[in-house]
Amino acid sequence: MARFGSAQLSFPEFSGTTRRLVLWNLVAYFVLLLADAAHLEPVLWVFAHLKLHPDMVVAGAVWQPLTYSLVHPLLWTTLFELISLWFLGGFLEALHGSRWLSGLYAVSVLGAAALAVLIYALGQLAGQPQPLVAITGCMGGIFGLITAIALLHGNLEFQLFFVVNIKAKYLAIIYILIALAQTFGDQRIYAFAQLGGALAGLIYVRYAPRRGFGFVLSEQWYGLRNGYYRWKRRRAASKFQVYMKKQGRTVRFDGQGRLIDEDGEKHDDRSRWN
């Protein structure tokens, strides 16, 4: 893939969240490559346990749904994934912002892992264990990005392999059909992981706040923190009132704990309290 539509002849800007995601994956790839070349067994052992093994996750390896996307054992698949991540992520980030893209990618990666683990667990419960496949790479996140573009910008045209123009919604359908076909082979858990990324991307686009879950969580955190500070201020004001009453003086505070002068004016020190 090289461009959007017929007007854009280059990749999107390499910056922000897109750049961080690509560089993290690239650094992880070269660390694994060098460790393999130097036969650094401790490092290779660590990377082996960063992959997504559904049986290990069920047994308690809860970090793997977060780390598997950084493990890239093969050059060509890594190159394809990172170019796709730059191309798709850069486009979405330019239109929807860094926070929104970060949330979409994280949810898609986790959704891919969740569906893979669920399929494995259901197979175990049904007495039909699935072939164990270690899942690596960020295709689950990429499926989420493709799904988001198809849902939000479905009529946008890609130039596929520099030759064929295809609308985003049809490209997403092709990717999903390929993944569905793979569910009938030995790599079915990997295929379900890709579908899980697409499903997570769909849910995120439909239900995530416009500025992303990260923005909402930060706003809630600051709201809780400010509420705690206001409670402390009211509590201190109440104690001060009791103390001043014992000294034979009466002071008044408003509902926010701000001092009210005798002439009725409030001391509103926003730089300290708000």
Q: What mean pLDDT is predicted for residues 4-30?
A: 79
CA 147 – CA 74 distance, rounded (Å): 25
Q: How confident is the model at residue 105 (pLDDT cuts 50, 70, 90)?
A: very high
**What does the buried/exposed string (b/e) look like for 219-238 if buried means 16 or more CB atoms within 10 Å of the residue's CB?**
eeeeeeeeeeeeeebbeebe
Q: Are 109 and 166 in contact (CB under 8 A)?
A: no
Please provide the CATH number assigned to the domain covering 16-208: 1.20.1540.10
pTM (two decimals): 0.73
Q: Quote the pLDDT of residue 156.
A: 82
The number of C-alpha atoms within 13 Å of 92 and in the hemisphere containing its C-beta is 34
Both tokens assigned to 264: 């009725």
Which one has a higher pLDDT value, 30 or 213?
30
Give the pairing of strands 252-253 and 259-260: antiparallel
Torsion sign over Cα 146, 68, 121, 124: positive
Q: What is the pLDDT of residues 49-96, one digit of tens each?
A: 999 999 999 999 999 999 999 999 899 999 999 999 998 999 999 999
Domain residue limits, the chain: 16-208, 218-273
CA 37 – CA 56 distance, rounded (Å): 27
Other CB atoms within 10 A of residue 1 CB: 17
Q: How confident is the model at residue 199 (pLDDT cuts 50, 70, 90)?
A: very high
Q: Quote the pLDDT of residue 219.
A: 54
Helices (H) and strands (E) in the chain, counts: 11, 4
Q: Quote the pLDDT of residue 162.
A: 57
With pLDDT > 90 as the criterion, what percentage of the chain qualifies?
Answer: 45
Q: Are 202 and 151 in contact (CB under 8 A)?
A: yes
Q: What is the pLDDT of residues 135-193, one digit of tens each?
A: 999 999 999 999 999 999 988 877 665 567 788 888 889 889 988 888 887 778 889 99
Q: What mean pLDDT is predicted for residues 207-236?
A: 64
